[in-house]
Copies of this chain bind each other. A is one copy, B any other.
Amino acid sequence: MTSMMDLIHELWFLRRDIVSDGFDQALNRLAEEIPMRIHTYPSGEACWTWRVPEKWTCHTAYLETLGGQRLLDYADHPLHAVSYSLPFEGEVSREELLRHLHVHPRQPEAIPFVFKYYKRDWGLCASQVLHDSLNDPAYRVVIRTSFEAGALKVGEVVIPGESEQSFVLVAHLCHPAMVNDDLSGVVVGLEVARELLAGPPRRFTYRLLILPETIGSVAYLSHNEGLIPELHGGLFLEMLGNDAPHALQGSFQPESQVDRCFNSCFSSLDPVGYTGAYRTIIDNDERQFNAPGVRVPMLSLSRVETPKSSGRPPYPEYHSSLDTPAIVSSQRLEASKKVVLGLIDAWERNQYVVNNFKGEVFASGYGIWVDYRLNPEGHRRLFEIMERCDGERTVAELALELGISFQSVWEVVATLLDKNLVRLSPQPQPTSSR
């Protein structure tokens, strides 16, 4: 088993455009690490309102002075060509060149990540520094790209559980030569899947999807419509290696059980983490899962310095050639893996708590009495939880109602389970007629 950082070093510089040989190469390499089914969707295939694009290959791309001095070259860095650039070859005026030469809005030294998957044009990318040095009246551009029938690939790792009901983890792999966005989410997802596979069976089936952003999710969902009702919740993973606190973004349905569960346990998993509503932190594939006709409540987890709602980029190196292995650390990837596993643990436990008892429990008779003189907080919590165990509230709902963490509630519920005073149920089981 290759470590997360080693996989990053091995795969990050690949030309992983959405439908491309580089993407396939990366996915195949990941499939060596874990049992994975690879779904293929041919170019042109209808996916709801979308179509799978052609495979794109960039053979050569460079910019030269008319004197033949090479100013930038795709061979040096995959970001120098706009992803899905049309081919172009010829002498262009400085003015025309600048209309097709993209720079990063904030990082003068970096090459930006620019893509034109559907509204196509030819284009190159350069640093602001290079851009500003272009003073010749004309330059020579060579972009040799080809568009041909290919197939979009979606890798799916299934960890079967006791039920067909599924929880889905999603990460995208299509950002060429960048690491935090998006390879970090892929390797954390992979490690989580490995741990789930190695552990005991879970209540839910888990599915990890590794795919090209947006079109990959649409392709998978539109070809697996029958599965959608089984998807009870999901989590999108991305930007998990940079030096920033975890941000948990809610789903479109903030009252869903998965939203309640994750929100009630998150602060215990990362005390400096923060939460935000749907679409306020960062947009990704969770949009497809939360969308009309699908409505799978999918949250997202990422490390984000400045949420989308601030109007600023999520981290300084975002969508640039500065997003390299140097900005991620194995400690942070490891910590993020633990947060994801912690969320999943809570999700597995988040059932309705049904009382086997009536009236108040004879606490001292069961040896669970907490002396209010020694531990007033613990005493109050025990009774506040017991009196709400009525088959109408999940563990997460108890936590939110009492304003305490999922984990604090679970501690008490585990004791009550141990004494056979309560049982868990995936469905509400009200024990009172009122």
Contacts and interface: CB of A to CB of B under 8 A. Distances in A.
A135 interface: no
A293 B287 CA distance: 42
A200 interface: no
A55 to B, nearest CB: 19
Contacts of A434: 253, 256, 295-297
A295 B359 CA distance: 9
A49 B365 contact: yes
Interface stretch (A17-25, A26-34, A214-222): A214-222
A201 B206 CA distance: 54
A390 B291 CA distance: 9
Interface of A: 48-51, 118-119, 214, 217-218, 221-222, 225, 229, 252-253, 256, 287-288, 290-297, 355, 357-362, 364-366, 369, 386-390, 421, 431-434
Nearest to A311: B376
Contacts of A357: 48-49, 292-293
A369 B118 CA distance: 11
Contacts of A366: 49
**Residue from A118, A387, A421 whose CB has the most chain B CB atoms within 10 Å:** A387
B291 A358 contact: yes
A421 B293 CA distance: 13
Given A49-B361, A360-B288, A390 B431 contact: no
11 contacts: A49-B357, A118-B364, A225-B358, A229-B433, A256-B434, A292-B386, A293-B355, A293-B390, A293-B431, A294-B358, A296-B434
Contacts of A295: 390, 432-434
Contacts of A50: 359, 362, 365
Given A294-B358, A295-B432, A296-B434, 5 more contacts: A49-B365, A118-B362, A292-B358, A292-B386, A295-B434
Given A387-B287, A431-B293, A432-B292, A118 B365 contact: yes
Given A290-B387, A292-B431, A387-B252, A48 B358 contact: yes
A183 to B, nearest CB: 24
Nearest to A289: B359
